[in-house]
Amino acid sequence: MWHTRKQKRQRRLSARLLKFFLLPLFATILFALLNTSYSAQVWNRVHNSVPEAQEQQRKDEEELQKPALPPPPPPPPHFNKYVNTFIGTGGQGHTYPGATVPFGMVQLSPDNGNEGWAYSSGYHYNASTIIGFSHTHLSGTGIGDLLDISVQPTLSPINSTSLKEFWDLDLRQSFNHSNEVAEPGYYSVFMDHGVQVELTATERTGMHRYTFYPPSATKKPICSYRFRSF
C-alpha cells in the first residue's frame, strides 16, 4: 500500500518535471538552434552581398571612365531627289523618263504613240497621250528602236474580231504632266481614263502595278507588240 503511494508520487513528480522543466528546456534549445541557423543565413547573405556590390560598383566606375563613343554617322543623303529624269525628254534630247537600273536589261517607260524623229525614244514631253508602257528603250540615240512588249491598261472590252482590227485600234489615252512622277528606278502616272500606273525595274525584269478607278470598272490590260516609233 505504502509502495503504491510512493510510485504515484514519483509519477506525479516525473510529470511535473517533464511539464515544467524538460519541455521548456527542449523548446528553448530548439528556438536557439533555429535562431542560430537563421542568423547564419542572414550573415552569409550580407557577407556575400558586400563583394557583389563592390564588384558592381567597380564595373560602373570602369564604364564611366571609358571614353565616350563617337556619334553614329549621319544617314547617307538621298541623291534621288536631285535627279530629274525628265531632262532630255523635250526638244531633241531623245531620252525616256521610265524606270531602269544601271546596266539593266529592262527600261520600262511610257510611249506616246506618235511617229517621227522627235519620238525616237518613244516619249516626248510635248505629247499628251500614252499608247502603252514597253520594256526596252534607247536613250539619246537619235534613232528609234526597241519599244518591245508594250502593255496598255483599258477600262472597256476590246471588240475586235480579227488581228487586223486589233492592229488598227487606237489605244492611246490622254494624261497630264501634273499627274506624272518620275525618279530613278520608278515611274508613275494617273491617266485621264482613271488608271493609276506604277512602274519599276530590276536588272532583268520590269514590274507593273495598275490601279483602276472606280474599282468596279472592267479591267482589261492589253499586251501589244505593234507600235514602233520609226
Collapsing DSSP to helix, strand or coil, 191 comes out as: strand
State the DSSP H helix or E strand holding residue 134, giving kind and residue range, or none if neither: strand 132-134
CA separation, residue 98 to residues 80, 109, 194, 204 (Å)? 14, 4, 20, 15
**What would the pLDDT profile of 171-227 be if each residue is shown by its tens digit?**
888 999 999 999 999 999 999 988 999 999 999 999 999 988 876 555 656 555 555
Say how many CA atoms lie within 13 Å of 54 toward its Cβ.
Answer: 6
| Mean pLDDT, the chain, whole residue set | 77
Cα gap 84→209, rounded to integer Å: 22
What is the band of 11 on the pLDDT scale with cuts at 50, 70, 90? low
Residue whose cell numbers read 511539464: 19
pTM: 0.61
- Confirm if 69 and 168 have CB atoms less than 8 A apart: no
CA separation, residue 172 to residues 6, 140, 152, 206 (Å)? 133, 24, 8, 21
What mean pLDDT is predicted for residues 132-150? 85
- Characterize the bridge pairing of strands 132-134 and 109-111: antiparallel
What is the band of 58 on the pLDDT scale with cuts at 50, 70, 90? confident
